Structure 1
Amino acid sequence: MSRSIEKGTVAYFSLDALSIHGAVIKQGVFKRSASVQLAKGAYVGGRIEDENAFGLAFDELCRKLKVRKGMVCAVDMAETEVLSRKVEIPSTIPKDEIRGYLFMEIGSSIILPFDDVAFDYEVLGETETKTEVMLHAVSVDLTKAIRAYMKKRGFQLKKIVPRPIAIANGVARLETLDPLKSTLLWHVTPFAHQLLVLEEGQVRFIRAIETDLPYRAETTDGIVTYTYSGSKETLATQTDEWLNELARFLDFYRYSLRTDGRPIDELLVSGTVPNLDDLVQTIESEAMVPVKRIADPLPLSHATPLSHQMLPLLGMATLDKEHDANFINSTDVTLRWPIIASLLALLIGGGATGYLFYEVNELKRNEAQVEEQLQLVRIYQTEQVNSKGQQVLSLDQTVTALTAEERWAVPALRALTEQLPPTGYVLTYNYADGSLMSVRTQFETLADLNAFQRSLLNDPRFENVKLLGVTTETKAETEQEETDTDEPLSPSVLDSTNEPLPRYIGEFTFTFIDAEPETPEGETPDGETPDGETEETTDEEVVSE
């Protein structure tokens, strides 16, 4: 993988929890560099938490670097906030379509712990069936925050580079790496340590482990150094954990990552912890792997010594001609126009579909109206064909049929009227099947109602006579009262003087048999009762409300 130098003059910045490091590099040569301390809690987890404290330190750094507003700049992203993963994609996908393919697969087949992702990639190799890609992803919220801050300070932010890639490029700039060997780069800082595998000049594996140790920052001759402030036991424990992690990774690479079981050929160690030399001596004494320490200060010509804190800045100024990991390109430059074009195409397609749908519905509606008008014309023509004679004949047939139809209610009403007292009359009647009837009759007195009920019970033409209820009604009232036939009538009800013009409405049901009435034994044909009997003692009066 050939590398070149970034053209032009660019300001580079590297941020961590205790300090900010910056450099102005022109054509790969350090012109100015500086580091400043940060207040605790000003920058945490890739975010600026205290903008005032961070701004004071950043202004001091800009004065030392003599940078001006409008200058192009680049920033690295902390290794603990970047997720790097090797992904296999079909080899049939052209190289210029890989970004779009990854964009569509993220969230479905490629699961990442971010809701909105800024990503970039590097092609590692190709076979007949698959293409290996190193995917770098970060939360888009972090990139937006950095870009907004740099824009606020008047800088043109050009790149946001994953720190592991920046460190790997910086080491490749300083050391000559054998493309036939597998090189492991171990970069140790007070905040995290990284394990980077380089094969054929490319980063094939990245593992970053966050650490939480009590370090404090001190500035000496413009250089920020980190000093351990915890107990010796804690430091010894942390050192053992680092070495154990290194040993586990060496075994993991040999027996899991490499199909041929080949071990790591060389270990390069860099970092900013003060006990880095002790780690190198321990590795050499245990003969874990051939080890080499990156020179400190960096072997570059500069007015002031360059510590390993400047290693990411050197890497950001080194370019890969085929590809350069940059989260800004992945979110703005490359995906912006395809997304806009897709949205425009979707909008135009949706509008065309809606217009066609409206036109089809309009045609169907017009067709239905024409069909309805034709149907009305056909009906009118059919009616005109019928002559007046046919209409008269149809009417005559209807009258004849109605005249010949038997009217079942006439005999029943005639017989019913015969039984009514002079003051009673039928209000309504209903009949079914020619025999079952229900009538509502009105009387001026309850005595007339009781007499009418007895007449129906004694007449053989009326069977199954039932009194369903009696209601009273006066001209002074609009409401009706229900009177139960099972309860005796009170004197106030019988006395017609209590209420003006009472009316008693009884509802009866019965079955009518059309036959001549027979005079019951002991009764006169006129319906008079025998001597010695009164009308009140002949039958039992039953009135229901």
Structure 2
Amino acid sequence: MAFSLSFGNKRNVNLIFNDHSIRYLELKSVHPPIPLKWGEHFLPPGVISDGKITDYETLSTILDECIEEWKIQRRQVNFIVPDPLVIIRKIAIPIDIQEDEVKSHLYMELGSSIHLPFEDPVFDVYPLGEKDGKKELLLFASPEKFVMDFANLLSSLKLQPAAADISPLALYRIYYMMDKAHRAENLFTAHINLTSVSMCIFEGHIPYFMRHFPLDFNVAKWDVRRGRSDECEYVFKGDPAELEEQFLSIYSEMGKLMDFYRYSVSGGTKGVTKILLDGDHPMLNKIHKELGEQFGLPIVTFPSETVQNGRNRILPPGHTLALGLALKEVE
């Protein structure tokens, strides 16, 4: 199930890049998962846009400062491929294609039987079994150029890119380790940040459908402070009606994906059974309540107050994705 662009194999530092921040986490232990250290640095608008590095020089300068502050010089790094750059798609190939021939076959079929919205992809596949005389695969794909922009940025600052992952798998990794995952359920994950929403539907333990959409973020309407736990705290100071409208659009998009899954994919035979809610949005508790009213489904969140580093420092909720990425090391 892992999306594994591997560059190395030692215990690593874990970095999350999104449009508004860089987050960092180091793991202390796996069972139970205990983080050792973490941090966050706010990014000004326009440095990363829609998951793509748009101001390389500024990002390099900021990351260099973070490396010094977090004392992670020359370390190996796992990172998340930003959600706007990721596609998950189910495909079928001839049954006689051998396992070691799958990737070369897929490269030959790109642009003919396999269509992606970008050229020169980097991808991984997960076998789903056989159906109607074909091998079914789950394809995880991203544009190589933009993924390598992050890897090259790390290398230029003497960090060592070790592995790339995707956010739904990182979140599900924590959910699974909490013993909350059930093979019979159809789980809808919603990762809601200040600048975007990422959604994914899992059947059993497998992510089949992923959608991402941006949120309007006007930095002038937010007060950004450094919290006591080395994370950024975001306080909205604009018109509350603007956020209410944004929340309604989030619920609408979630409903559309649920309906697509129920009617277009499953022919009305099955639907989402549970929602896993996570993210750094400061009004996530309000969203939690309204989601319950909107969809009438069980909603699970990560109990961040139970994740401590042994020194009574509680891991901020916005860092759970980084924790899930860190657990990739033990798969």
- In structure 2, do the counterparts of structure 1 residues 116 and 125 end up closer, same or farther at CA, with 3 Å as the change threshold? same
- Counterpart CA distance in 1 for 2:329 and 2:261 is 26
Does 1:172 pair with 2:179? no
2:321 matched to which residue of 1?
312
Does 1:36 pair with 2:45? no
The SS at the match of 2:216 is coil
Task: Kindly indicate whether structure 1 or structure 2 has the higher relative contact order, using CA contacts under 8 Å at least 6 residues apart.
Answer: 2
Partner amino acid, structure 1, of 2:260: F
2:5 matched to which residue of 1?
none
Question: Percent of counterpart pairs with the same letter?
Answer: 21
Specify which of 45, 48, 68 is matched with residue 50 of structure 2. Answer: 45
1:183 matched to which residue of 2?
187
The SS at the match of 1:317 is helix
Shift of 1:154: 0.9
Shift of 1:293: 2.5
CA RMSD of aligned residues (A): 2.7
Partner amino acid, structure 2, of 1:161: D
Partner amino acid, structure 2, of 1:40: P
- Counterpart CA distance in 2 for 1:120 and 1:299 is 31
> Structure 2 matches for 1:377-388, cutoff 5 A?
none
2:114 matched to which residue of 1?
110
Partner amino acid, structure 2, of 1:96: D
Specify which of 207, 218, 228 is matched with residue 225 of structure 2. Answer: 218
Q: Which has the larger radius of gyration?
A: 1
- In structure 2, do the counterparts of structure 1 residues 253 and 319 end up closer, same or farther at CA, with 3 Å as the change threshold? same
Structure 1's unaligned 5+ residue stretches are: 325-545
Shift of 1:281: 1.1
Does 1:149 pair with 2:150? no
Deviations 1:57-87 (A, max 9, x none): 3233223432132x21111111012222221
Partner amino acid, structure 2, of 1:273: H
- Counterpart CA distance in 1 for 2:49 and 2:305 is 27
Question: In 2, are the aligned partners of 1:85 and 1:135 still within 8 Å (CA)?
Answer: yes
Question: In 2, are the aligned partners of 1:298 and 1:308 still within 8 Å (CA)?
Answer: no
Question: In 1, are the aligned partners of 2:110 and 2:116 still within 8 Å (CA)?
Answer: yes
Shift of 1:14: 0.5
Deviations 1:253-308 (A, max 9, x none): 22222246122221111111112111221232345322222223463545432223
Question: In 2, are the aligned partners of 1:9 and 1:27 still within 8 Å (CA)?
Answer: no
Deviations 1:172-199 (A, max 9, x none): 3345201111111111112221221122
> Structure 2 matches for 1:274-289, cutoff 5 A?
274-286=282-294, 288-289=296-297
Partner amino acid, structure 2, of 1:178: H
- Counterpart CA distance in 2 for 1:175 and 1:269 is 16
- In structure 2, do the counterparts of structure 1 residues 308 and 133 end up closer, same or farther at CA, with 3 Å as the change threshold? farther
1:469 matched to which residue of 2?
none
Q: From the two aligned structures, give the one with the greater helix fraction.
A: 1
- Counterpart CA distance in 2 for 1:26 and 1:96 is 36
Structure 2's unaligned 5+ residue stretches are: 3-7
1:97 matched to which residue of 2?
101
Shift of 1:15: 0.8
The SS at the match of 1:23 is strand
Does 1:228 pair with 2:228? no
The SS at the match of 2:194 is coil
Question: In 2, are the aligned partners of 1:119 and 1:138 still within 8 Å (CA)?
Answer: yes
- Counterpart CA distance in 1 for 2:268 and 2:135 is 20
- In structure 2, do the counterparts of structure 1 residues 299 and 199 end up closer, same or farther at CA, with 3 Å as the change threshold? farther
Matched positions, count: 318
Question: In 2, are the aligned partners of 1:214 and 1:229 still within 8 Å (CA)?
Answer: no
- Counterpart CA distance in 2 for 1:83 and 1:298 is 33
- Counterpart CA distance in 1 for 2:316 and 2:133 is 45
- TM-score by structure 2 length? 0.85
Partner amino acid, structure 2, of 1:281: K
- Counterpart CA distance in 2 for 1:233 and 1:268 is 26
- In structure 2, do the counterparts of structure 1 residues 139 and 229 end up closer, same or farther at CA, with 3 Å as the change threshold? farther
- TM-score by structure 1 length? 0.54
> Structure 2 matches for 1:429-444, cutoff 5 A?
none
Does 1:85 pair with 2:89? yes
Partner amino acid, structure 2, of 1:317: A
Question: In 2, are the aligned partners of 1:8 and 1:27 still within 8 Å (CA)?
Answer: no
- In structure 2, do the counterparts of structure 1 residues 143 and 250 end up closer, same or farther at CA, with 3 Å as the change threshold? closer
